[in-house]
Amino acid sequence: MESNPLLQHWETPYGLPPFDRIRPEHFKPALDTAMSRHREEIETIAGDSAPATFENTVAALDRSGEAMRSVALLFSNLTASETSDELQAVERELAPVIASHRNWITLHKGLFARIDRLYAERHNLQLGAEQLRLLERLHLQFVRAGAQLKGEDRTRFAGITEELASLYTDFSQAVLADEAEFTLRLETEADRAGLPEFVLDAAASVAAEKGFDGYAFNLSPSLVDPFLTYSTRRDLREKVWKAYKARGQANPERDTRPTAARIVQLRAELARIMGYATYAEYALDDRMAKTPAAVLELLEKVWEPAKARAAEEQKHLEDAARTAGAPGTIEGWDWHFWAERVRRERYNLDESELKPYFQLDRMLEAMFECANRLYGIVFTEVHDVPLYHPDVRLFEVREEASGGIVGIYISDNFARATKRGGAWMSEYREQARNRDGYRYPIIANNNNFAKAANGRPTLLSFDNVRTLFHEFGHALHGLLSDVTYVRLSGTNVLRDFVELPSQMHENWAFEPGVLKKHARHAETGEPISDELIERIRAARQFNQGFRTVEYTACALVDMALHGARAAGDSQGLHGARGADTSQGLHGAPATDTSQGRAGREETAGDATAVDRARAADTPPAPDIAAFEKSECRRLGVPPAIGLRHRLSHFRHLFSTSGYAAGYYVYMWAEVLEADAFEAFIDSGDVFSRDLASRFRECVLSAGDSVDPAEAYRCFRGRDPRLEPMLRKRGLIAGE
């Protein structure tokens, strides 16, 4: 058998993975070997006869496991971006194994004893600010991963996390299978009624990928949204909408709802083992928000105004439908269709008129130019480097002034059956100065745009362009990281801070100067007109009630599912509401990185027995379908809008723990972003290099080396204000 390329030194450009030599069967032996080496490194650190120091314990731990990290990052990227039946089988086998390995580290008594000893003496160690931050964050990470637990609690915690890892994989693969399985073939001209040429081009590309001529639609949002917007076949719109909303429950053999219910049940048990009444309390204790009450305070300020705005919007749509001789009742599969017609009438703005100006290649150029104007970095495409799919592109990123390399940027923009839905940023290598070899990062952006057929330019919608810039904001957060330690690098920040750079960079996508230069008509080459730009800007708040409701409903359901409900309700899903707090977004102090509730002496370790006695038995697994239905009824979610993500396919919640009791973070970060971008507006120059340099220094380069509240104050000079976000969404008077 050929030697395993994953176990060899990667003699590739930039230290990239050897994509052209990798096969699914390479991963298990590579990860087994990498984990074994990592365990040896951990035992060496833990068994050092010398007293614990920052360098021989904390810094050494941060450097350890480089081989494990490289292979695991590669594996997770491929299973998301270019999977296969063989790779999915390996993923199912390895998910609990990798979780077990991580548990072995965080539950290693000897290793934690050394970290704990240093933590107790941290203020006497004469550490630098970044060193202190790393020690505090590592200590908290270990505590939150059960390091202070004892006896049965310790064993059970490990068992829960390993079972969760398998369940996350099962959930993700089931949703992906539903998305890949669905096909709507448009056999006749009547089936294609209303669909503009750019939509049909994308549908032809899907048909070709599936191996037949003609036109076909899958369940990629980049195809579903335009189909719902333009198709005059209400029956087909209904079919597509219902299939899209039924992902995760369409096939009884892979119904995700029992999996999601078990995940919720295990999270509740884990939280109680750790001394928290609910999983929401556990998750939020290490976020900027700190408590469920602070999150609900923010969401509730938006929820009722958003519903009122959406009700007005629905009335306008119903009036338009009746005027056109259509049924006046607006269903979920009607909203996009009639909203487009109302927008066209009110603002003389037609998505089919806009889309030819937003060519993917030109929008990538616009994105790179914005980064250059703001941060002085240059993106240069590199060809003839083996990658994992022909559509994937690679760019070298350098400082314009010095020519020094910043990192490598991988751009993967098209939907395909082997790629999970959505859009995301990931790393193949994180930035860190505390390592041998390559210290700069390899960052990837994944989108799911519909690829045009026959070599025609891929055209993006207004929302696609926003998504492109959003994910690029995450990429810049990873690329411009400039810290010593991997644990503090790039996007390894608190979850409700990580969306600040991404949402911040959406603002530059539609700056008039950017559009005039890069938004050129795909056929004529003419630049977009000032008059059309003004129409775009005038329509920015159109349909914001719909958008705010469909998002906020999901955030509220997420919080309720994990144990916290809106004000006025004394009970969450498992009978407890998140602890009250007198501090919210504006008045919250910097997150206390030294303590989580599980790390406080009065509730940690032996005190867990007290908490478990209070909690009594683990709550039963919820009925996911019934819970979703009852919560939507309780909240008053308009049926014509519904949830942006139904629980049966809510990957944010059930493919990982990262956004569990955390879908609110987009709005929390939007408060930061809207307030932060006002600094650029008020300066009179939205490309102010001085402000951009400060944003780079305080936020993008800092990673998690400083507390996020301090990072924000470093840039803005004060805490954020809520009003800019409310004005931006049109929920209060303003622009």
The secondary structure of 263-279 as a DSSP string is HHHHHHHHHHHTT-SSH
Q: Residue 69: enclosing H or E segment and its boundaries?
A: helix 66-81
Give the Cβ contact number of residue 217 at 10 Å. 26
d(CA 58, CA 63): 9
Burial class (CB in 10 A: 0-12, 13-18, 19+), 120: exposed
What is the 3-state secondary structure of 7-45? Answer: HCCCCCHHHCCCHHHCCHHHHHHHHHHHHHHHHHHHHHH
Q: Which of 427, 471, 499, 673 is catalytic?
A: 471
Q: Residue 379: enclosing H or E segment and its boundaries?
A: strand 377-382
Burial class (CB in 10 A: 0-12, 13-18, 19+), 524: exposed
Q: Is there a catalytic annotation at residue 471? A: yes
Residues in the chain: 735
Q: What SS3 class is residue 537?
A: helix
Closest listed residue to residue 681, CA positions, set 504, 480, 474, 467: 504
| The two three-digit tokens of residue 340, written as one number | 């487009």
Contact 430, 441 (CB under 8 A): yes
Burial class (CB in 10 A: 0-12, 13-18, 19+), 331: middle
Q: Residue 184: enclosing H or E segment and its boundaries?
A: strand 184-185
End-to-end CA distance of the chain: 66
d(CA 116, CA 719): 32
Contact 643, 631 (CB under 8 A): no
Sign of CA dihedral 724, 729, 731, 732: positive
Q: How many CA atoms lie within 13 A of 588 on its CB side?
A: 25
Contact 674, 368 (CB under 8 A): no
- Tell me the C-alpha to C-alpha distance, in Å, between residue 359 and each of 87, 183, 460, 518, 522: 33, 26, 6, 9, 7
d(CA 422, CA 93): 25
Contact 529, 623 (CB under 8 A): no
Residues catalogued as catalytic: 471
